């Protein structure tokens, strides 16, 4: 049992050491030892372990020499505390919705990857934020919540049929089983491209009109998939604010 505790303690200490090295350009051995509450000899051993793991850590000789992560080296696993992880996730939400980075799809993809590895306590905080979040949209601009966009993106990634709650252009609620394919951002709107299982054709559902979705556990085999961007662009030709566009296709 004592050996297990020692392994856990060493792992936690190494993560803490990486976090400190990433937080500022240089640390002396004494400073690191003080922050981690270990001896300077232990710091030297831990630095050697991190180097063996592939971390490019440079050091200067002498009692006042410092340790630092080498600039331009391969990016090591990113270590974030709770507040940092929450801040990054919120920032990616804002980028995905507002186009601040010029690439909303990249921001949403990064947010999806981050959310998959976040602890439950941080995900709960993000869900609470989404529930209280209100965006002042531009005139006639719809708004899809980040949490819903993540669910739609996850459905596309996992390739499992889902039951979709949707409000059509006449305000009527409908429930459809669909095979997810892609999320498309166009004309300041998000579209969910999926095959309507009942109708046997591809559709572009407006994400802001999706009320919710539930995975059905049926794996999707994509056959005769359309160009998702082209499918969405055709909807613009059908009207100024079309709810969906369809393309015939075989039933999967």
* pLDDT < 50 positions in the chain: 1-8, 74-75, 100-103, 134-140, 238-252
What digits encode the pLDDT tens for the residues 36-56?
889 999 999 999 988 888 788
Give φ, ψ of 219 to 5 degrees: -60, 140
Domains plus CATH for the chain?
2-69 (1.10.10.10), 82-132 (no CATH), 159-248 (2.30.30)
Residue 76 region, left (φ>0) first, then alpha (ψ -120 to 50), else beta? Answer: beta
pLDDT in tens, 150-183: 788 888 878 889 999 998 777 889 999 999 998 8
Q: CA nearest 182: which of 214, 162, 163, 204? A: 204
What is the Cα–Cα distance from 24 to 69, expressed in whole angstroms?
Answer: 9
Amino acid 130: pLDDT: 63
Q: Alpha-carbon distance 243 to 238, whole Å?
A: 10
Residue 142 confidence (pLDDT): 56
Map residue 109 onto helix, strand or coil: helix
Strand blocks (E) in 14-70: 27-28, 57-59, 66-69
Q: How many residues does the chain have?
A: 252
pLDDT score at 11: 74
d(CA 102, CA 96): 9
What pLDDT shows up at residue 237? 55
181 three-state secondary structure: strand
């Amino acid at each position: 049992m004592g050996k297990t505790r020692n392994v856990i303690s060493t792992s936690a200490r190494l993560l803490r050491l990486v976090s400190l090295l990433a937080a500022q350009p240089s640390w002396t051995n004494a400073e690191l030892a003080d922050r981690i509450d270990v001896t300077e000899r232990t710091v030297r051993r831990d630095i050697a372990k991190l180097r063996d793991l592939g971390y490019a850590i440079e050091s200067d000789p002498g009692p006042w020499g410092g340790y630092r992560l080498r600039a331009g080296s391969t990016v090591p696993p990113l270590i974030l505390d709770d507040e940092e992880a929450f801040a990054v996730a919120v920032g990616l939400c804002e980028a995905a919705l507002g186009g601040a980075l010029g690439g909303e799809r990249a921001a949403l993809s990064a947010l999806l990857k981050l959310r998959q590895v976040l602890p439950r306590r941080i995900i709960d905080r993000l869900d609470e934020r989404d529930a209280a979040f209100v965006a002042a949209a531009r005139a006639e601009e719809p708004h899809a919540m980040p949490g819903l966009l993540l669910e739609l993106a996850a459905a596309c990634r996992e390739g499992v049929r889902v039951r979709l709650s949707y409000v059509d252009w006449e305000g009527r609620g409908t429930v459809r089983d669909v095979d997810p394919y892609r999320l498309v951002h166009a004309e300041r709107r998000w579209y969910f491209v999926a095959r309507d299982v009942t109708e046997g054709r591809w559709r572009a559902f407006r994400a802001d009109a999706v009320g919710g979705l539930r995975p059905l556990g049926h794996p999707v085999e994509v056959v005769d998939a359309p160009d998702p961007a082209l499918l969405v662009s055709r909807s613009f030709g059908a009207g100024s604010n079309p709810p969906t566009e369809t393309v015939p296709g075989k039933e999967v």
